[in-house]
Amino acid sequence: MINSKLAELLDVIADMLELEGEKYSRFEVLAYRKAAVTIGGLQEDAEEIYKKGGTDALMELPGIGKSMAAHIEEYIKTGKIAKYEKLKKKYPLDIANLTKIQGMGAKKAFKLYKALGVKDVQGLKKALAQHRIRDLEGFGEQSETQIQKGIDFLESGGGRMLLGTALPEAEAIRDKLLKSGLVEKAIIGGSTRRMRETVGDLDILLISSKGQRVMDFITSMQEVESTIAKGPTKTSVRLKIGLNCDFRLVERTSFGAALQYFTGNKDHNVKLREMAIKKGLKLNEYGLFDKRNRNVAAGENEEQVYKTLGLDWMEPEMRENRGEIYLALHHKLPKLVQLADIDGDLHVHSKFSGDSSNTFEEIAGEAKRLGREYAGVTDHSKSEYMNRGLDEKGYRRVFAEIDKANKKLEGFTLLKSGEVDILKDGSLDIDRKTLGEMDYVLASVHSGLKDPKDAMTKRIVNALNSGQIDILGHPTGRLINEREPLQADMDKVFEAAKDNGVAMEINSQPSRLDLNDENAIKAKRYGLKFAIDTDAHRISHMQYMRYGIGMAKRAWLRKEDVVNTMDLGSLLKLFKK
């Protein structure tokens, strides 16, 4: 999808034309602004529109005239717009990022560039620190504070980071600390440990006898951009990836209590504290204390904290105060599905469609390495025009290739499937005969994601009622921080899925995680089964399974709720039904 990038570029051109002043009319500036709004608000990818109907199709869009359409064509073909490249030579400013700061328009940015040589946010920060802005005409002390506030807001992240970015970073930092020999223990806590889909900041707990040296090591790590606070037991830093990280050094005797506390979530902790008070105890990050201030749950693991409160220990993913404490009290916690329970992956793309280059050998090799027994090849269907989707003939060719590959593979099976498009009326875009040749059918909605709720509900329910589908792929179509979920009456969707024995996908792509935990909890109430898939477009994506597992655990799913924990024989029997 090029829309947001393209819209931003058109906006920046408008900004730069404005700086040119007299030379350009307001109309011309406005034309770029209008085009930016149109492109930014499109449901369909502008590139797709162009590929289907050329510049003529683009010109049918509101606010897109001949020259704008030419710009878009140029951008699609070359990745650049010459007009912008020329303007940029004259104004070597990072306008796109500077104008993200609240109250900072292109004009102000240009003034600062002319007066102080400020080119980007980094330069702006420097100028602020040296108080060089307050003396400029039209600025002053107040606007200096305002700009600083704007930068702080941006850097505080306004948005939250994907777990798929945050967790690997946290693990890299943890591993460096462990390798340094300076710490005895380093454990990741907070929302990252609970596998929330997004993370506000990282929390890492440490045991060490070399406090000062550990903190020095941390603040000089290559991952660290700046130090926010530094003390002997607590240090907070800003990471280069745009996330804060809190480090806490705790006593060995407090470690269990501290880990419990800093894993959270907050509501879960508040509940536990109330339970402690009822027992005449006091719970905090240092321990669980009796009336005489003795730590009755001292030690390195958190089991002791839960046990002393009369609770069974539970996995971090459950700690959201959604009723897990009640279950723990009555020894009724479910046994959650584990990554090791997964026997295969039912959504993997291959080189036969889409932007994937995965060969069957690569897919099988990686899946085997990950301890799996099977992988479903789910190439796109023909409606995914941009993704080189397959028609009936195309699928048959792929199936023949799969048969050939399977003969060579030992102890591993590639399954014949497809990620088949659900069309507007709920029909599938591949004929019944071909679907019948698949081991199972994965079907997804890929277009018209902003259609009204009634229409979307009907579309999905119709598809489910066709009796052709085994798994509904990424059921809400959302992209975290990028695209809202489609609007559908999920109760009706889940009901129809139950009637037709269709499993819900938990798509493990970090930006999808779809179904999310809340929807999966709901789907489970309908007695539905789940397929935790990676939707791998690259071989490396096959490791995303752990994020889907995190989501499944957050929805309290057990092994028996997840179809791809079954061995191949049982799975095929299930799909035959």
Residues that bind ligand DGT (CB under 6 A): 190-191, 196, 199-201, 203, 261-262, 264-266, 269-270
Q: How far is the CB of 268 from Ca ion (least distance, A)?
A: 14
Residues 6+ positions from 317 with CB-CB distance below 8 Å: 194, 195, 336, 550, 553, 554
The CA–CA distances, whole Å, from 565 to 67, 440, 526, 559, 570 equal 55, 16, 20, 6, 10
Nearer to ligand DGT, 235 or 413 (CB): 235
Taking the C-alpha atoms of residue 495 and residue 420, their distance in angstroms, rounded to an integer, is 21
Given its phi and psi angles, is residue 158 left (phi above 0), alpha (psi -120 to 50 degrees) or beta?
Answer: left
Nearer CB in complex with Zn ion: 33/349: 349
| Residue of minimal Cβ distance to ligand DGT | 264
Please state the closest distance from residue 198 (CB atom) to Ca ion, in A: 11
Choose among Ca ion, Zn ion, ligand DGT, none what residue 300 binds, the Cβ cut-off being 5 to 8 Å by kind.
Answer: none
For residue 206, report the phi and psi dihedrals to the nearest 5 degrees. Answer: -135, 145
Site residues for Zn ion, window 419-438 (CB under 5 A)?
Answer: 419
Q: Of ligand DGT, Zn ion, Ca ion, none, which one does residue 269 interact with (CB within 5 to 8 Å by kind)? A: ligand DGT
Give the count of alpha carbons within 13 A of 249, CB side only.
Answer: 21
If the CB atoms of residues 316 and 389 are measured against ligand DGT, the closer one turns out to be 316
With contacts defined by CB under 5 A, how many residues of the chain interact with Zn ion? 2
Closest approach of Zn ion to the CB of residue 442, in Å: 8
* Residues 224, 539: Cα–Cα separation, whole Å: 30
CB 547, min distance to Ca ion, A: 17
State the nearest-atom distance from the C-beta of 196 to Ca ion, in Å.
9
535's contact among ligand DGT, Zn ion, Ca ion, none, with CB below 5 to 8 A by partner kind, is Zn ion
- Report, in Å, the least distance between residue 320 CB and ligand DGT: 10
Give the nearest distance from C-beta 173 to ligand DGT in angstroms.
Answer: 15
- State the Cα–Cα distance between residues 147 and 136, nearest whole angstrom: 14
Q: Which is nearer to Ca ion, 149 or 234 (CB)?
A: 234
Nearer to ligand DGT, 107 or 230 (CB): 230
User: Do 169 and 241 meet the contact criterion of CB atoms below 8 Å apart?
Assistant: yes
**Torsion sign across C-alpha atoms 318, 319, 322, 323:** positive
Complex with Ca ion: residue 161 or 562, whichever CB lies closer:
161
Burial class (CB in 10 A: 0-12, 13-18, 19+), 100: middle
Give residues with Cβ within 8 angstroms of 7, minimum separation 6: 36, 37, 39, 40
The total number of residues written for the chain in this structure: 577
Half-sphere exposure (Cβ direction) of 426: Cα atoms closer than 13 Å? 17
Nearer to ligand DGT among residue 204 and residue 536 (C-beta): 204
439 interacts with Zn ion by CB under 5 A: no
Minimum CB separation of residue 465 from Zn ion in Å reads: 23
Nearest distance, CB of residue 506 and Zn ion, angstroms: 13
Smallest gap from residue 245 Cβ to ligand DGT (A): 10
Contact 405, 363 (CB under 8 A): no
Whichever of 236 and 350 has its CB closer to Zn ion, that residue is: 350
Residues 503-542 that bind Zn ion (CB under 5 A): 535
C-beta of 262 vs 494, nearer to ligand DGT = 262
Q: Select from Zn ion, Ca ion, ligand DGT, none the partner in contact with residue 265, using the beta carbon and a kind-dependent cut-off of 5 to 8 Å.
A: ligand DGT
Q: Which positions touch Ca ion (CB under 5 A)?
A: 190-191, 201, 203, 246
Say which entry of ligand DGT, Ca ion, Zn ion, none residue 262 contacts (CB below 5 to 8 A, set by partner kind). ligand DGT
Task: Report the distance separating Cα 81 and Cα 11, nearest Å.
Answer: 12
Choose the one of Ca ion, Zn ion, ligand DGT, none that binds residue 317, judging by a C-beta under 5 to 8 angstroms depending on kind: none
Could you say which of Ca ion, Zn ion, ligand DGT, none residue 287 binds, taking C-beta under 5 to 8 angstroms by partner kind?
none
In angstroms, the Cα distances linking 23 to 16, 46, 99 are 11, 30, 22
Alpha helical stretches, state H, 26-81? 26-40, 46-59, 66-78
Judged by CB, which is closer to Zn ion: 381, or 434? 381
Q: Which is nearer to Zn ion, 358 or 516 (CB)?
A: 358
d(CA 570, CA 529): 14
What gap in Å lies between CA 293 and CA 286, rounded to an integer? Answer: 11
Residues 197 and 191: their CA atoms lie apart, in Å, by: 9
Least spacing, CB of residue 316 vs ligand DGT, in Å: 10
Minimal CB distance residue for Ca ion: 190
Q: How far is the CB of 263 from ligand DGT (least distance, A)?
A: 6
Return the ∠ at Cα 256 (arms to 251 and 261), rounded to 5°. Answer: 100
Choose the one of Zn ion, Ca ion, ligand DGT, none that binds residue 419, judging by a C-beta under 5 to 8 angstroms depending on kind. Answer: Zn ion
Minimum CB distance to Zn ion smaller for 302 or for 419? 419
**Spatial CB neighbours of 29, under 8 Å, sequence gap ≥ 6:** 14, 17, 18
Is the Cβ of residue 201 or residue 373 nearer to Ca ion in the bound state? 201
Q: Which one of Zn ion, Ca ion, ligand DGT, none interacts with residue 105, CB within 5 to 8 A by kind?
A: none
Q: Which does 3 bind (CB under 5 to 8 A by kind): Zn ion, ligand DGT, Ca ion, none?
A: none
> On the CB side of 233, how many CA atoms lie within 13 Å of its CA?
8
Start-to-end CA distance of the chain, whole Å, equals: 38
E strand map for 263-343: 282-284, 287-289
| Residue 278, helix vs strand vs coil | helix
The distance from CA 529 to its chain's CA centroid, rounded to whole angstroms, is: 23
Bridge partners (DSSP) of residue 336 are 558
Which of the choices ligand DGT, Ca ion, Zn ion, none does residue 144 contact, using the CB cut-off of 5 to 8 A by kind? none
Cβ at position 38, least distance to ligand DGT in Å: 36
Residue numbers at the binding site for Zn ion (CB under 5 A): 419, 535
